[in-house]
C-alpha cells in the first residue's frame, strides 16, 4: 500500500481541522510517521498498512468524515506527481505484498480522468501548430513571471504581497503558506525586485535549502549554524566565518548591529520552510529577538507548503512550538477562483493579445470546474497559477489540433 505523493488524508485533515498530533495519538503512531504518510505516501514499516488504514478511517469518521470522504482517503491529491513504476517483477514478490500493490494499483486506476488529466498535468509547451493557429509568438501562459506586466495582483495576492513587504520593512516574522504552484516563488521574486528599487536598503539573506529535509535520514536539516553562516557571509563576505557556534553567533550579532546603524534593514528568507525541523523553527524565534534598541535586527520570511501551518497549529496545542506559533504570522496564498478570468486577461495582455481571441467565457468557467475536486461535502480548489497555466496551454494545443477558432467548454472537456 505504498503510494508516492501526498494523500487525500492530508486534505481531509485540513477540511475537518484534525491536527497531526491529535490523529497520530488516535492511531498510536509517531507524528513523523503520520507526516510521512500524509505528505509523501510512505506507510510506516512496522505497522500493517491495512490495519493502520482502518484505524485512520475510524479516527476520521469520529471527527466528522462521511463514508464518501473516506472512500479515497489514501489516494493521491490532485497536484501530487504520479506514482513511478516499479521495475521489480511482481511475480517475485510475496503474495501479501502483491495484494497490497494490486490494491494500490486499482486505486490509481480508479482515479477519475479529471484528476489524472488536469490536476496531475505536467509542464505543457505550446505547439508550433497552436502558435500559428492563434498567431502567438510566445506562450502567454508559460508560467514564468519575468516582467511587471505579467504580474497579476488580485485582492488576495495583494494582501500577501503587502504582508511580505511589511515584513521586510518592519522586521516582521511571516510565513507565506500555499500549495505547490500557488505562486510563492513568484511573490518572492517580486518582493526582491521591489526591494532592489527601494532606497531604504533592505539586505536579503537566503540560506541554501538544497537537500534540506525535516530529518537527517532523508537529507540534511537546516540548523541555526547554517543560518548564522549565511548572515556572516552576506554581511562580511571577505572574512572567514567562525567555526564555533558561539563565536559565529557573536559575529552575526555584531554584523547585523553595525549594518543596522549604517541604515540597512535585513530580511532572512527561507524557502521550503515546511521541511525545517522543530528545533530550527524555535531558533528562528531567538534570531528574531535580536534587537537594536526596540527594532528587530532581522525580519524573517518563510515560504512553505500548508504542512507548516498544520505543524505550527499542532505545536501550539501541544506546546512544542508555542513560542513560534504565537509570534509567526501565517499568510495563505489562496486559489485564484473568482480572480481566474482577470488572471488570464493579465497574462494575455502581457503577450499583446486579447483573452477573448483565445478562449471564451464558458471555457473559463469550465477551467475552474475542472480544477475543483469534491471531497465529500467540501470542494477543494486547485485553481493555482501553475495548474491553470498548464491546463490552458493544453487546451490551446487541443483547439489548434481540432481546428476550432477558440478554446470552448467542449475543448476544455476534451483535454
Q: What is the structure's pLDDT at 81?
A: 38
202-205 β-sheet, strand order? 202-205, 265-270, 299-304, 173-177, 329-332
C-alpha cell at 134: 492563434
Least confident piece of the model among 24-38, 248-262, 290-304, 352-366: 24-38
How does pLDDT run across 14-41, given as a tens digit for each residue? 788 788 778 888 888 887 788 778 877 8
Contact (CB, 8 A) for 210 and 271:
no
Contact (CB, 8 A) for 321 and 284:
no
**DSSP state string for 210-255:** TTB-SSTTTSB---HHHHHHHHHHHH-TTSPPPSSHHHHHHHHHHH
215 closest CA partner among 39, 21, 76, 23: 39
306 closest CA partner among 149, 194, 176, 197: 176
CA-CA-CA-CA torsion sign (186, 191, 196, 201):
negative
**Does residue 116 carry a pLDDT above 50?**
no
Distance, in Å, from the CA atom of 372 to the CA atom of 385, rounded to the nearest integer, reads 14
Q: Three-class SS of residue 7?
A: strand
> If pLDDT is split at 50, 70 and 90, which confidence band does 118 have?
very low
**Does residue 117 carry a pLDDT above 80?**
no
How does pLDDT run across 236-289, given as a tens digit for each residue? 999 999 999 999 999 999 999 999 999 999 999 999 999 898 899 999 999 999
Distances in Å between the alpha carbon of 169 and those of 135, 202, 274, 300?
A: 44, 8, 24, 11
- Is 328 or 122 the better-scoring residue by pLDDT? 328
Distance, in Å, from the CA atom of 178 to the CA atom of 156, rounded to the nearest integer, reads 12
**Does residue 225 carry a pLDDT above 60?**
yes
52 closest CA partner among 70, 66, 34, 65: 34
For residue 243, the number of C-alpha atoms closer than 13 Å in the C-beta half-sphere is 0
- Residue ranges and CATH numbers for the domains of the chain are 8-110 (1.10.260), 116-140+351-414 (1.10.8), 148-332 (3.40.50.300)
Which parts of 126-228 are beta strand (E)?
Answer: 173-177, 202-205
Amino acid at each position: 500500500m505504498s503510494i508516492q505523493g501526498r494523500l487525500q488524508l492530508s486534505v481531509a485533515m485540513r477540511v475537518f481541522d484534525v491536527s497531526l498530533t491529535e490523529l497520530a495519538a488516535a492511531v498510536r503512531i509517531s507524528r513523523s510517521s503520520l507526516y510521512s504518510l500524509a505528505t509523501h505516501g510512505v506507510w510506516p514499516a512496522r505497522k500493517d498498512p491495512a490495519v493502520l488504514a482502518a484505524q485512520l478511517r475510524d479516527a476520521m469518521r469520529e471527527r466528522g468524515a462521511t463514508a464518501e470522504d473516506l472512500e479515497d482517503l489514501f489516494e493521491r491529491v490532485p497536484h501530487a506527481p504520479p506514482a513511478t513504476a516499479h521495475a521489480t517483477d511482481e511475480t517475485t514478490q510475496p503474495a501479501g505484498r502483491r495484494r497490497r500493490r494490486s490494491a494500490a494499483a486499482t486505486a490509481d486506476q480508479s482515479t477519475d480522468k479529471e484528476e489524472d488529466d488536469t490536476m496531475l498535468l505536467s509542464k505543457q509547451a505550446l505547439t508550433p501548430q497552436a502558435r500559428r493557429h492563434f498567431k502567438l509568438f510566445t506562450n502567454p501562459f508559460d508560467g514564468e513571471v519575468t516582467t511587471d506586466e505579467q504580474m497579476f495582483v488580485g485582492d488576495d495576492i495583494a494582501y500577501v504581497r503587502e504582508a511580505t513587504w511589511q515584513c521586510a520593512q518592519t522586521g516582521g516574522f511571516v510565513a507565506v503558506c500555499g500549495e505547490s504552484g500557488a505562486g510563492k516563488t513568484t511573490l518572492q521574486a517580486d518582493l526582491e525586485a521591489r526591494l532592489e528599487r527601494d532606497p531604504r536598503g533592505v539586505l536579503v539573506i537566503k540560506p541554501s535549502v538544497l537537500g534540506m529535509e525535516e530529518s537527517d535520514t532523508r537529507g540534511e536539516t537546516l540548523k541555526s549554524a547554517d543560518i548564522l553562516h549565511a548572515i556572516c557571509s552576506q554581511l562580511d563576505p571577505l572574512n572567514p566565518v567562525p567555526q564555533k557556534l558561539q563565536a559565529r553567533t557573536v559575529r552575526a550579532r555584531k554584523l547585523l548591529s553595525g549594518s543596522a546603524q549604517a541604515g540597512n534593514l535585513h530580511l532572512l528568507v527561507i524557502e521550503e520552510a515546511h521541511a525545517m525541523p522543530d528545533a530550527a523553527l524555535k531558533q528562528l524565534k531567538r534570531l528574531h529577538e535580536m534587537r537594536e534598541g526596540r527594532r528587530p535586527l532581522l525580519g524573517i520570511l518563510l515560504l512553505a507548503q500548508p504542512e507548516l501551518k498544520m505543524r505550527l497549529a499542532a505545536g501550539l496545542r501541544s506546546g512544542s512550538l508555542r513560542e513560534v506559533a504565537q509570534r509567526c504570522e501565517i499568510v495563505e496564498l489562496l486559489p485564484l477562483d473568482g480572480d481566474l478570468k482577470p488572471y488570464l486577461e493579465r497574462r494575455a495582455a502581457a503577450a499583446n493579445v486579447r483573452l477573448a481571441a483565445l478562449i471564451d467565457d464558458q471555457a473559463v468557467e469550465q477551467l475552474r470546474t475542472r480544477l475543483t475536486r469534491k471531497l465529500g461535502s467540501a470542494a477543494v480548489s486547485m485553481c493555482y497559477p501553475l495548474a491553470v497555466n498548464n491546463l490552458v496551454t493544453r487546451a490551446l494545443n487541443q483547439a489548434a489540433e481540432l481546428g476550432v477558432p477558440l478554446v470552448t467548454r467542449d475543448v476544455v472537456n476534451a483535454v
